[in-house]
Amino acid sequence: MGEGIIEATIIRWLVKEGEIVQTDQPLVEIATDKVDSDISAPSSGTVKKIIRKQGEIPKVGELIAVILPEGAEESEFVPIPEIPARQVEEYFNDESFEDSLSHQLNGSEMEVNNETTAMLDEKAGYLSPFVRKVAEDLRISIEELNLIKGSSTSGRITKDDLYHYMEIKKTQIQPLTDMQNTNSKSFISKEQLYNSDYKVVPMNRMRKIIAEHMSYSIRTAPHVTSFHEADLTNVVAWRDKAKEAFRTNYKTRLTFTPIFIQALAKAILEFPLVNVSLDGTDIIVKKDINIGLATMLPDGNLIVPVIRNADRMSLAGMAATVNDLAERAREGKLLPNEIKGGTITLTNLGMFGNLTGIPIINQPESAILAIGSILKKPAVITTKGVPGIAIRDICVLSMSYDHRIIDGALGGSFLARVASLLENYIPDEKFL
């Protein structure tokens, strides 16, 4: 399913049990993160059994259906035993699975204080090592754990329960001691919160994913944001002059976005320690420069298709790729692997008329660059050593970065270099 994808939601089956299918015929629609796609039949045959139903979330590698190959005898078919949903859920909430996942994420076994572990198990029931570690990281006390009701079928507390509790805790009216004395689990009501008529709009699936991903990023990385004002007068003048010839020669639009991406990619070649991820206490320096492009969808949600090996692209190739990904994103035609594997993200706030903003890092990346509106402003410039005031095209660049591994000196220097590359942009003369 692509790098980093571990599960998918079954949206709907396109075939029924007993139906004859052909090789590459779409069998089922699935959703991975923010992208919907089809799974096709690996061979011709008869659909003998559909194991995972609509709305279920199987893991990558898990069996979801059985096809009896064309020409095979019925006697050759070995029935797949029924696996109750309860057993599947308990397996993926089991400590062995969580320990394995934690080992993969952190690269080493997590250390949990033995005394704390015994107290947690005694007070809050059995907690897996992974959940205990999450509770410690979130600074959730034993008393608070007693207030949390586990959502698994066995009643055990999962990591999602802990994160959900932390979100609710922000709107809590009663202090924790009062809640213990009254044994109350009630939090602020909608009536108390709004004190007026209101309308409840449930989040759709994509908005839930965005909300969780952004909350996770803020919880995980200490964000620092640097700002730099860039004079883009030369870039604006060149693009205005070249865009029609560019469209004629390359059959694609020339926006500012490909130019920004090129500058970002060139700066990374000089500052490779910005193109990194953190794995436990190891800094992973990415050799590939894969730039995610934040793209707004027609329903107002956000998706981030990835431009791979951006440092190797010409301006024409970059423009074609950007326009293609943006168009297919709006049409819902992106493939799952086209929103995976980014190493740094660019978001263009200027298209909404915003002067600047503080973007949130797209985990597991370590930096995100935001481009503000390009506005004509009076600015001080120096001509032949003489300062003067002129009308210039000014843009504010802002970059948020993970302060665990990128310090202000590195982040600020990198942002200044991006600005310098844009201010001193040297276009290919053949476009003029």
Annotated catalytic residue, options 121, 240, 407, 428: 407
Taking alpha carbons only, the member of 66, 70, 64 closest to residue 79 is: 66
Locate 343 and state its tokens.
């190493």
Known catalytic membership, residue 288: no
Could you write out the three-class secondary structure of the chain?
A: CCCCCCECEEEEECCCCCCEECCCCEEEEEEECCEEEEEECCCCEEEEEECCCCCCCCECCCCCEEEEECCCCHHHCCCCCCCCHHHHHHHHCCHHHHHHHHHHHHCCCCCCCHHHHHHHHHHHCCCCHHHHHHHHHCCCCHHHHCCCCCCCCCCCCCHHHHHHHHHHHCCCCCCHHHHHHHCCCCCCCHHHHHCCCCCCCCCCHHHHHHHHHHHHHHHHCCEEEEEEEEECHHHHHHHHHHHHHHHHHHCCCCCCHHHHHHHHHHHHHHCHHHCEEEECCEEEECCCCCEEECEECCCCCEECCEECCHHHCCHHHHHHHHHHHHHHHHCCCCCHHHHCCCCEEEEEHHHHCCCCCCCCCCCCCCEEEEEEEEEEEEEEEEECCEEEEEEEEEEEEEEEEECCCCCHHHHHHHHHHHHHHHHCCCCCHHHC
Cα separation of 15 and 275, whole Å? 44
Known catalytic membership, residue 407: yes
Annotated catalytic residue, options 164, 213, 223, 403: 403
What phi and psi, each to the nearest 5 degrees, are found at residue 187?
-115, -175
- Residues forming the active site: 403, 407
